[in-house]
Structure 1
Amino acid sequence: MARPVTVMRQLPLTVGLVLLVLVMSVVTRGLWQPLGTRPLGSSMAYGLPSFEDGAWWTLVTGSFLALEPVRYLPILVGLALFGGFAEWRLGTGRAGVALAACQVVAVLAAAAVLWASRDHGYLWTTSLADDRDAGPSAAFLGAVAAASVTLSPPWRGRLRAVLVAYVLLFAVHMGALTDLEHVFAVACGLLIGPLLQGRPPQLSARRLTRRDYRLLACGFFVVAAIEAVIENFTTAQGPLAATLSAQARIDELSHRNLVGAVVLALLWLWLARSLYKGRRRAWLWAVGLLTVVIAIQVGNVVWMVVVGEPGLVAASYDLVLNTAGLGLLLVGRRAFRNPSPRRARRTAGSLVAPADDDQRTLATELLAQQGTVNRLAWMTTWPENRWFTTADRAGYVAYRVHAGVAVGLCDPVAAAEPDRAGLLVEFADRVHAQGLVPCLFTVSAEASRHARAQGWHSLQVAEEAVIDLDQLDFVGKAWQDVRTALNQAAKQGIHLDLGPLTDMPRGLQMQVKAISSQWVEDKGLPEMGFTLGGVDEALDPRVRVGLAVDADRTVHGVTSWMPIYGVGGGGPAGWTLDVMRRLPGGFRHSMEFLIASSCLAFRDEGCSTVSLSGAPLARSTGADEGLDRGTLDAFLDRLGATLEPYYGFRSLHAFKAKFQPRTEPLYLVFPDEAALPRIGLALGRAYLPAAGLRDLITLARPVHA
């Protein structure tokens, strides 16, 4: 008895509305006799006919009734769940405002649209204008939309996407008066939600991340799968049937192939799942299939226009939807570069293959077998790269092409120093032969020396923080912050979970993705790449993830560690820090605790080195003191200052000093000083692939005193 009483105290509005609907169903006998077939229904249900008769009270009476007894079950369940959720998140007063406002706006807006559009030759609105409706479904759907403002990303966006997809799909394919009202209810809820929180609505657009493109592509094909099935149940009075007579539409529906629709839906769902994982092959299949479907649909639309065949509205709807899906895939093509699991498991036995997936597999295996001197070299295996290899496959250079520049990433990968020096020369020759400018970014002192021996220039662009684990201890005043983090974590029952993220429980994986999504969305960040990884890179089975987890299995912080393969290969000789994310409002010493605990764990495993990576755009004096670095410095200064409030590169550089690392310079090497402006643009494009050319030119423009 205690639990129902507690619910009644916490959700009095929801409980009261559920009881009121039950009482009204008994008083009107609507719980066992259809209200819509009785004269009482005309005087109590709302709709355009009721308002034209002056029965405005139906706006209130109809909100607590159902026209059919069977409808009371979804109404009561929806009111209890959705209305209860809104009251729990918004509070009783604001939830009441949301429920009332969304119901009134939805009913009146639907009536106004039908009044303005009836008798203009559109079968759907003309027939719908004579209908009446009842029930509070618009109220609780709109209230949920309003309450979504209280959720944190990514759940806020996911809830809104589900609501919008639901109301639009049912409005398009079912087209009942209730479905039209639901569209206006959700729109009203999304609008007034921020107002109930004391701030105006904000329609802000941010650049889509790789994960956003994958989720949108996945969502598109999930919706397509749902439509493939529910099109078999589309009503004859729906908006897509507007150009057909009711009987012709019914005849068409009777010949639909439900089995074929289910098969097509399963295909779309397979594509949705694979696109969510960023599979390159799935992207190719999706683009190919949509291209064929669009070509067929264009032919159908042209034929219908020429011969006047009915069904133009439905055909045009499908064409527009599929064209939007294809456009999304093409614009977000960079987000779909992951190989299939079968290809990812291939060994170096298949050396010669032109596909990117095979080249990436080869690069990963060469790095593990040959090793290199650059502790950041695991970044060269990321799928956005291209790979230049010599004829004997002794090593490779990872690079990307932007603004006419082939930007190499890290040192050449090979076991022997002469091979690494030779790779640099061969890479430069091949790049020059294709009319591009070569350069290598974040290379070690060794590669800088090799480049200068070839007459190239070398500039320091970052500093790498390196911890020698055999000398690691946390004794002395300098380690006070680290000891505090470890002690506080122990007091709060927070421990380290260290291992591949793919092997961790599903619940922990979801929390990691949620923390990363919130970090991106709340700050309105442009997604950066190149030398900065994210959750996608952390999901690689060879990458280890450190989680700060409390006794309730709540993740307070996340770090990811890339393997270091020293010269000669073998197992990882150490680990390099990549991702750093903290739960907002969580354990505030998460990063210090995670880095210190991980270092101790790596030392106990026999590793010799941990790299805290290089802080991009945070650097010291250039190695070539006689070189005019003005243009590049201007670019790096502007880019660093612009992104510092979001990413904190320079403050991150200072944070790493807590771990008493030694620093080693990282360089940019290039053959011609005159190419610095173009190299600046290329680096900007590499870090900010979605930025416009004007933005990059502005960043690269020198600052004049």
Structure 2
Amino acid sequence: MLTLLVVTGLVSGSLWSQAAASRETAAFGYGLPAFEDGRWWGAVTGVFLAVSPWGYVPVLLGVVGLGVFAERRLGTARALVAVAACHVAGVAGSAGLLHVASGHGWVWADSLARLRDVGPSAGFVGAAAAATATLGPPWRGRLRVVLLGWAGLSVLYVGGLPDLEHLLAALTGLLLGPLLLGRRPRVTVRALSGREHRLLICAFLLVSALAAVLSSIAPVAGPLPELVPVAGAARLTAVHASHLVPGGALAHAVAFLVLARVVTWGRRSGWWLTVGALGLVSTVQVVAAAGLVSRDHACWPVLVDNAVLNLAGLAVVLSGRHAFGHVSPRRATALPESLRRSADEQERDRATSWLTTHGSAGRLSWMTTWRGNRWFFSERQEGYVAHRVGAGVALALGDPVSATGDRSALLLEFARRARRDGLVPCAFAASAETAAAARRIGWRSLEVAQEAVIDLGTLDFVGKRWQDVRTALNQAARRGITFRLVRLADEPEGVRAQVARISRGWLEDKRLPELGFTLGGVEEALDPRVRVGLAVDADGRVHGVTSWLPVLRPGDGAVVGWTLDVMRRGPAGFRAVMDFLIASACLAFRDEGCDTVSLSAAPLARVADQPRHGLESVLDRLGQGLEPYYGFRSLHAFKAKFQPRYEPLHLLYPDEAALPRIGLALVQAYLACSAWRLALELVHPPRPATDRSSGVHEPDLSRPHAVSLSG
């Protein structure tokens, strides 16, 4: 289509000549005059032209944007059918309406009935509307509101022939979309969430602001003002009473833009301001328009065009009072039940005691006891949700810790509390079971990592696939290095000092900031309930350190497994020290009767043969881009030598529109430095190391880029 448009423009000269474009429009265009002259084929020939040289710009952009969207959602064949059908409906439908409406004194209809048009824009608008049938809520409804709102406003306030064609094509596309997918078109009405109601009010205010500006610039455009011959000054008075003072239209637009921003905060004061502003504007418009109607009863369309629309908006605002219950951030920090309030040590002790008593199904659950978290304790059931607050997001860590196992109820209660505080709720690193529970309450899930899990009951280091691990164990034995599984807090000061030096050296060598949130350090390793693996030689020198978080069985809190957190190698440690430490820990935990060991997860790294779709493909490319900096995938490959099974970890969120904000919240949670420092550090990435002896891409664990979801 792009090629045909450009070639036709070049051949006809309309690509650079307005005269040529006008000539081609008159000869090959479509519209009511073309049908009356018997040139019905203009509906086909006019598709490949534009009304002016500048007209090619929006036409080509529309073909690319709307066409690509329709083709990707519907497929090539169905997209072509939608473009053709909607183009015919827009062209023939507008000609039919104008044939009926013209000749009765309606200036707008009479003027459009004499015009011809060219271009494929109506077909692509309709195809985009049809493609919305492939989307699920809430994006299906949002895109339809945007398309119909834009098309409807264009007809009301611009009123050109293309605008009428676009509106009819969009309506046709909405009916055609379900048919192309093999189902009947139907009108479904569902209850709006509080956020959706606020977005609807915000959209109305934005449209009203735009309408104020458009009507002041071109008050004679559109079908309703031209329905009756009203004097321009009187028509302007009825269009917007605020225009009676200089700059009234601009003040109206600015005020409504400010209100639109206030509405998104969801506070009760914003609702009262919006009600007051709309009530005042509607009252003034009704009085002004009623006075105009009293002098000329034929002016009722002006009243319909203005006051009734604002009254409808006022009704929407009044019906959405329930959506405005948010508390301001300053006030929320003083409320004991607010998610924004900083946590104290007493709440941390409460969460730790609850977890050790009742346990949890999540293998990352011990991270919920770390300092830096906040805790939401349920009022209706036993359990809590550990979270952090940033960028207007309540970011839950892992699975909700619940005694009943009903994670969806606890997650829903957490989400309600978050929305009441004006926060977007989400959960990061949640298990597949929690993701399924979230989908039952209407949330969405996105796989962000894969947890590597080793089943200790069947673990043995026999066979060729375990050759690297056996080599590491043998090298340690030859060097006189032994494995010790200890509580770091109980170790002598000299050992703790060595561990601290190894960690400091690792941090000083880093070109990028240390990550937090799901990544522990020496402070977390000093917890007496955390086990630490040490590789120590005959002289007492520590070559490497690992820390292990307890996995507690749901119901009684018994330790049934361990999760890898810290991984640090000393500057003089032999290369395979991490293989040695992990293998030795697995053997020790197996002998203690534990069921599993989790090697945690590498963010943005997944099993290679898994299919990628949509946002997962975007994250896959992001993982490739970050590999030179943090080595997520090399760490994932390193863990593969322990033959684990993989379990997905998910990001759970209620709405895709919140993903950019959630991304900022994750950055704030993980990075202790500013975004500017991170950007500067990314200029010179470190180079990942490769274990050439084994052929496995192995992270250099003395370097900063070897970072897992835990440690």
Please report the TM-score for the alignment, with normalisation by the length of structure 2.
Answer: 0.52
SS in 2 for 1:70: coil
Quote the residue 1:263 is aligned against.
Answer: 251
- Structure 1 residue aligned with 2:101, among 98, 104, 117? 117
Take 1:301 and 1:90, find their aligned partners in 2: how far apart are those partners? 46
2:703 match: none
Q: Which amino acid aligns with 1:503?
A: G
Q: What is the alpha-carbon distance in structure 2 between the residues aligned to residue 269 and residue 471 of structure 1? A: 53
Q: 1:272 aligns with which of 260, 263, 282?
A: 260
Q: CA deviation at 1:107?
A: 0.6
State the partner residue of 1:76: 60
1:212 to 190, 196, 199: 196
1:558, 1:580 within 8 Å by CA — same for their partners in 2? Answer: no
Tell me whether 1:295 sits opposite 2:283 in the alignment.
yes
Q: SS of the counterpart of 2:54?
A: helix
Q: Trace 1:316-355 onto structure 2 (pairs within 5 A).
A: 316-344=304-332, 347=334
| C-alpha distance in 1 between matches for 2:231 and 2:442 | 59
Note closer, same or farther for the CA distance 1:297–1:30 as it changes in structure 2 (3 Å cut).
Answer: same
The 5-angstrom pairing of residues 235-634 of structure 1 reads: 236-243=220-227, 245=229, 248=232, 259-308=247-296, 312-344=300-332, 347=334, 361=335, 468-471=354-357, 502-503=389-390, 532=413, 534=415, 537=418, 540=421, 546-548=427-429, 557=435, 583=444, 586=447
Instruction: Determine whether 1:56 maps to 2:40.
Output: yes
Larger mean CA deviation between 115-124 and 254-263 belongs to 254-263
- TM-score when scaled to structure 1? 0.53
Give the superposition deviation at 1:325.
Answer: 1.1
Q: How far is the alpha carbon of 1:199 from its aligned partner? A: 1.5
Contact 1:83 1:140 in 2 (8 A): yes
2:169 to 185, 197, 200: 185
Change (3 A) 1:271 1:499: farther
Find the aligned partners of 1:191 and 1:133 in 2 and give their Cα distance: 24
Work out whether residues 49 and 132 of structure 1, in 8 Å CA contact, stay in contact via their aligned partners in 2.
yes
**Distance in 1 (alpha carbons) for counterparts of 2:226 and 2:424:** 55
Contact kept, 8 Å, 1:287 with 1:329, in 2: the verdict is yes
Q: CA deviation at 1:342?
A: 4.6
Letter in 2 for 1:33: S
Question: In 2, distance between residues paired with 1:237 and 1:225?
Answer: 17
Q: Distance in 2 between matches of 1:548 and 1:291?
A: 47
The CA RMSD measured in Å over matched residues stands at 4.9
CA offsets per residue over residues 535-571 of structure 1, 9 Å max, x none? 6625748999641289xxx9995999xxxxxxxxxxx
Match of 1:88 in 2: 72
Between stretches 533-542 and 21-30, larger displacement belongs to: 533-542
- Tell me if structure 2 keeps the 8 A contact 1:501–1:541: no
Matched-pair contact (CA < 8 Å) for 2:282–2:307: yes
CA 1:589–1:73 in 2, change beyond 3 Å: closer, same or farther? closer
Aligned to 1:571: none
If you compute each CA radius of gyration, which structure gives the higher value, 1 or 2?
2
Cα deviation, 1:210-235, whole Å, max 9, x if unaligned, reads 22211111111111111122222336
Letter of the 2:418 partner, please give it: E
Q: Tell me which amino acid in the other structure corresponds to 1:233.
A: I
Contact 2:435 2:445 in 1 (8 A): no
Cα distance change of structure 1 residues 228 and 87 upon mapping to structure 2, 3 Å threshold:
same
Query: Which deviations, in whole Å up to 9, do the C-alpha atoms of 1:654-697 show, x marking residues without a partner?
Result: xxx982269xxxxxxxxxxxxxxxxxxxxxxxxxxxxxxxxxxx
Matched residue, 1:659: 554
Task: Supply the distance in 1 between the matched residues of 2:93 and 2:67 (Cα, whole angstroms).
Answer: 21
Residue 118 (structure 1) shift = 1.1
Aligned-partner Cα distance in 1 for 2:164–2:428: 46
Q: 2:392·2:423 contact (CA, 8 Å) conserved in 1?
A: no
Percentage identity across paired residues of the two chains: 35
CA 1:528–1:134: 2 relative to 1, 3 Å: farther
Does the 8 A contact of 2:126 with 2:173 survive in 1?
Answer: yes
Letter in 1 for 2:160: A
Deviation per CA, 1:604-626: give whole Å up to 9, x if none: 7999xxxxxxxxxxxxxxxxxxx
Distance 1:364 1:549 in 2: 23
- In 1, are the aligned partners of 2:133 and 2:140 still within 8 Å (CA)? yes
Partners in 2 of 1:499 and 1:658 — Cα distance? 18
Counterpart of 2:679 in structure 1 is none
What CA distance in whole angstroms lies between the structure 2 residues aligned with 1:185 and 1:302?
A: 35
The corresponding residue for 2:180 is 196
* Aligned counterpart, 1:130: 114
Q: Give the CA deviation at 1:472.
A: 6.0
Paired residues of 1:556 and 1:586 also in contact (CA < 8 A)? no
Cα distance, 1:51 vs structure 2 = 0.2
1:636-651 correspondence to structure 2 within 5 Å:
none
Matched-pair contact (CA < 8 Å) for 1:43–1:55: no
- Answer whether contact 1:62 1:133 (CA < 8 A) is retained: yes
User: Is the 2:328–2:421 Cα contact (8 Å) retained in structure 1?
Assistant: no
- Cα distance, 1:37–1:81 mapped onto 2, change above 3 Å: closer
Moved more, 150-159 or 20-29: 150-159
In 1, distance between residues paired with 2:448 and 2:329? 36
Q: Retained in 1: the 8 A contact 2:194–2:320?
A: yes
Q: Secondary structure at 1:548's aligned position in 2?
A: strand
Distance in structure 2 (CA, Å) of the matches to 1:555 and 1:501 = 22
Q: Is residue 45 from structure 1 mapped to residue 29 from structure 2 by the alignment?
A: yes
Distance in 2, matches of 1:270 and 1:280, equals: 15
Measured against aligned partners, the alpha-carbon deviations of 1:307-360 in whole angstroms (never above 9, x if no partner) come to 117754233221111111111111121111223345445x5xxxxxxxxxxxxx
